[in-house]
Chain A
Amino acid sequence: MSETPISADRRAFLKAGSLAAAPLAMAAPAAALAADDGSRAKLARLEDERAIEALQRKFVRYLNGAGDCGEVIAPSGSVELGEGLCTIAEDLRHEPSFALADDGLTASARCACRVERAVAFTGDTTIERMARFEGLGQHRHEERAVLAMEFIKDREGWKIARARLV
């Protein structure tokens, strides 16, 4: 699959896109469709962009307990986020990246995140036994990771094909 980066800077792209999208959307039915000068494709890509960004936000909200992630995962999709994930939040100090395939049917995105995990010490190693003995049955810690996501578009719209923390 070849992917053409729309922008290395999704936030910049979306910011610019939203400015452009408002007049475009208002004008689209008459001007863009009639002229078919590529505006339809641009509009479609913008809509895809927005749909994916919303999907990503929803996924992160759901991971934080707001809903069932299964709703946004493709039937054949996979999620590999490691054990004990408690919370996840985008790290806004880093720019995310986004790429939409030429055919408009797949996309990928990466964003830096702060992840909080709780690891339960349930094993029979001495160090786990002693940690439990010390009253530390689990440990919560924050780590930095990159949420790497792949998206697929089907008749129902965009879904998450794969999400993993790397």
Chain B
Amino acid sequence: MALEAYPSVPLFRYPYTQLTEAQIQAGLASAAQAGPSSRSPLERDLAGTTLRIVTDGAGTLTWQFGEGNRVTFEGATGGYGALTLDHVTLITHVVPNSTRAWAIAWDRHSNLATVFELWWGGGPAPHTREINRAVWHGYVQGGDGDPPAERHTPTVRMEGRAYAWTEDTGLRTIEYYCSYTYTHWVELDRLKDNRGYSAPADYIQLTEDLYLFARVEAEFSGMLQMYLVDSNRLQSAGVRLGFNGADELEYYMFRGTAEWLGQNARFQKLGDFSASPIPIENAKKGERRIYRPVATMDKMTPEEVNAVVASDTHVFDRPSPMAGNGTPPSGALATRSFAVEYDGGPRMEYRFVSADQLQWRKDGRGDWRQAKYNAWEVMPGAFIFGHLLQGEPNHDCHIVVADLDVGLATNFHGFLNTPYFANEAGAETLFGKVVGQGIPDPGSRRHQRTRDLLGRAFTWEYAPGLNSMHLYSTPNTTSWIIPNAETGHFGTEWSGTGDFVKIRDQLYFARWCEEACNGTLGTLLLNMRTMHDAGIGYHCGKNGLSLSAVGAPARHAGKFEVDKFFGPDAWRTRP
């Protein structure tokens, strides 16, 4: 496909070029001399200054600033850019004839400094185009006084916040700081699909109200987005550095203004402000935990899928780690019969012959087929049930919410053999009505997509030690964040396609697709009155095809008001 700076397909589908170090150095050459561009005036008051920063871990680093935007570092002279937010100055430059760069946050009041050493190639990132960073805290040397004992520090204080940023470039981004090591951002202008994406991030507290934030768009473009945040004035000053989807260098500084969107709950123990990431044994410089799910995902051919389905299919026949705290299945559908007529989809006839066996027939054709199912009555009269459609070429499943009190049903129809990986689950949402004895006819009424969940976050306690948080960040995105079970620090985060349907007041049917990430279709029927869900997971991998239970108590972590940022058709997704 043609290269696109900001792809028209989801970023996890875009074939980013594997740039070489030579290509990157060539791409950086002019920027190293010219320095970054900026819509806002860059500052020149550093001329004649020698900035000597004593760091914990990288020794003493010295920058000599000359006239104009010239800076000399380790004997090489090039161009720099600087912007000050209140009393903290962000300085950045690329080292000439190298694949190295630096960014410095200098607090001119305290003389404390945080230095980001940046480089491409040589690891630890497995992709050369992905920028590496090492973070060094220290202070600016000067005067005769004792060196300060204080340092800027990693922080959990930003965790749970969200801002809607508008840069002086006009570009708008919603940034959800859901974790102390990850972020989730939604580009509202350059990307057109209303999706959110997740990336590793650094959160550094500079003062009570000033922070330094940096995300590296790992697994995608590999670009750096770094900015100072003034959390009282809701302003930023930052830099964007790296190679976009068209392999063009972006190197510019910006100022931004924010709308404060809210603050979700944090789940560390009260009084725990620790924010040091879980250490990595024998870590390389700059190494951190960056989730790279497509690398570890089973990737199977259609033939391999057919074989594993034939030999190793599991339908609610083994304990599910996603349902250790789930509710038991309901037998209340046993002996009932009804049909579900989907708009633009099949007519599914059902005979529920027992608490876990049903017979189904599609479009009135062929013999009745027996299938194992499980059902949960999540609110009186409202059921979620799921089964495989054995014999269908894509090994389909139907995961259905049927509200028998009103005769409405919605189906998250799962299937394999997507164009990307044969074992990856795809999904479509089908709306329909339930036809059966004693079940009201809803006429043309149907369940509707909802934005009631948009911007909300819930924690899910699936089983001892296995917890997560969902953030429904856009009308078509579900993001999930994994905490340290012992400390409550939410860390690694990822995201995929979501869809959200209102069943009743406070009863919602939601799904997430783990595209290019384990390939699971996850579904849940969330009862916000009981704060519990029941759901079904559909997964195919080398260990087989499975339908398994999902269920956990929930905590409502908060809600961001983001509805206005998304148009009426923002739920539409392109795979």
* Chain A interface (Cβ < 8 Å from any Cβ of B): 117, 119, 121, 123-131, 133-136, 138-139, 141, 143
Contact A135 B278 (CB under 8 A): yes
Please tell me which stretch of B1-9, B18-26, B362-370, B463-471 contacts chain A, meaning at least 4 of its Cβ atoms lie within 8 angstroms of it: B463-471
- Which residue on chain B has the smallest CB distance to residue A140? B465
Q: Is the CB of B465 within 8 A of A124?
A: no
Set of chain B residues within 8 Å of A123, measured between Cβ atoms: 321
**A129, chain B: closest CB distance, angstroms:** 7
Q: In the complex, are the beta carbons of A130 and B492 less than 8 A apart?
A: yes
Number of chain B residues close to chain A: CB under 8 A = 29
**A123 to B462 CA separation, bound complex (whole angstroms):** 14
Interfacial residues of chain B within 280-297, with CB under 8 A of chain A in the complex: 289, 291, 293, 296
B567 to chain A, nearest CB (A): 30
Please tell me if the beta carbons of B482 and A130 are within 8 angstroms of each other in the complex: yes
Contact: B465 with A141, CB < 8 Å? yes
* Given A117-B464, A127-B462, A131-B465: A139 in contact with B321 (beta carbons within 8 A): no
Contact partner, B484, options A117, A119, A125, A134, Cβ 8 Å: A134
Do B289 and A133 have beta carbons less than 8 Å apart?
A: yes
Q: Chain B residues near A139 (CB, 8 Å)?
A: 464-466, 485
Measured CB to CB, the nearest residue on chain B to A84 is B464
Contact A125:B520 (CB < 8 A) given known A131-B482, A133-B492, A134-B278: yes
A134 touches B482 (CB 8 A): yes
- Asked if B485 and A136 sit within 8 Å, CB to CB, the answer is yes
Interface residues of B in 298-354 (CB under 8 A from A): 298, 321-322
Whether B466 lies near A131 (C-beta < 8 A) is yes
Q: B537 contacts which chain A residues (CB < 8 A)?
A: 125
Contacts A124-B543, A131-B485 known; list 9 others, CB within 8 Å.
Answer: A119-B463, A121-B321, A121-B465, A126-B517, A127-B321, A127-B468, A134-B491, A134-B492, A136-B485
Q: How far is the CA of A110 from the CA of B424 in the complex (A)?
A: 48
Q: Given that A136-B485, A141-B464 are known contacts, is A130 also in contact with B321, CB under 8 Å in the complex? A: no
| In the bound complex, CA of A119 to CA of B462 (Å) | 13
Contact (Cβ within 8 A) A126 B541: no
Q: For the complex, what is the distance from the CA of A128 to the CA of B291, rounded to whole Å?
A: 13
B485 neighbours in A (Cβ, 8 Å): 131, 136, 139
Report the bound CA distance from A129 to B517 in whole Å.
10
Chain A neighbourhood of B494, CB < 8 A: 126, 130
| 14 A/B residue pairs, CB under 8 Å, sorted by A | A117-B464, A125-B322, A125-B518, A125-B537, A126-B293, A127-B322, A127-B468, A128-B321, A128-B466, A131-B482, A135-B278, A136-B485, A139-B464, A141-B465
Is A138 a contact of B465 with CB atoms below 8 Å? yes
Q: Within the assembled complex, what's the spacing in Å between the Cα atoms of A148 and B522?
A: 37
Q: In the complex the two chains form, is B482's CB within 8 Å of A127's CB?
A: yes
Partner of B520, one of A126, A138, A143: A126
User: Is B539 in the interface zone, CB < 8 Å from A?
Assistant: yes
Whether A126 lies near B514 (C-beta < 8 A) is yes
Give the distance in Å from the alpha carbon of A119 to the alpha carbon of B463 in the complex. Answer: 10
**Cβ of A131: which chain B residues have Cβ within 8 Å of it?**
465-466, 482, 485
* Chain B nearest CB, measured from A92 CB (Å): 24
Could you tell me the distance in whole angstroms from the C-beta of A122 to the nearest C-beta in chain B?
10
Bound Cα distance from A133 to B517, whole angstroms:
14
Give a binary string over B220-232; 1 marks a CB under 8 Å from any A CB, 0 the rest. Answer: 0000000000000
| Cα–Cα, bound, A119→B491 (Å) | 20
Q: How far is the CA of A121 from the CA of B322 in the complex (A)?
A: 12
A-chain residues with CB within 8 Å of residue B464 when the two chains form the complex: 117, 119, 139, 141, 143
**Across the two chains, which residue of chain B brings its CB closest to A128?**
B321
List, in ascending order, chain B residues with CB within 8 A of A129's CB.
Answer: 293, 296, 518
- Given A126-B514, A130-B482, is A136 in contact with B520 using a C-beta cutoff of 8 Å? no
* Complex interface: chain A residues within 8 A of B520 (CB): 125-126
A130–B465 touching, CB < 8 Å: no
Contact B482 A124 (CB under 8 A): no
Closest-CB distance, B424 to chain A (whole angstroms):
12
| Inter-subunit contact A124/B492 (CB<8 Å) | no
Interface contact A134-B289, CB-CB below 8 Å: yes
Q: Are A119 and B465 in contact (CB under 8 A)?
A: yes
| Alpha-carbon gap, A134 to B321, bound state (A) | 17
Contact B484 A136 (CB under 8 A): yes
Q: B463 — nearest CB in chain A belongs to which residue?
A: A119
- Which residues of chain A have C-beta atoms less than 8 A from B543's C-beta? 124
Q: Inside 8 A of B321's CB, which chain A residues have their CB? A: 121, 123, 125, 127-128
CB B321 to nearest CB in A, in angstroms, measures 6
Using A130-B494, A134-B491, A136-B484 as known contacts, say yes or no to A121 and B466 having CB atoms under 8 A apart. yes
Across the interface, name the chain B residue whose C-beta is closest to A142. B464
Mask, B541-559, CB within 8 Å of A = 1, is: 1010000000000000000
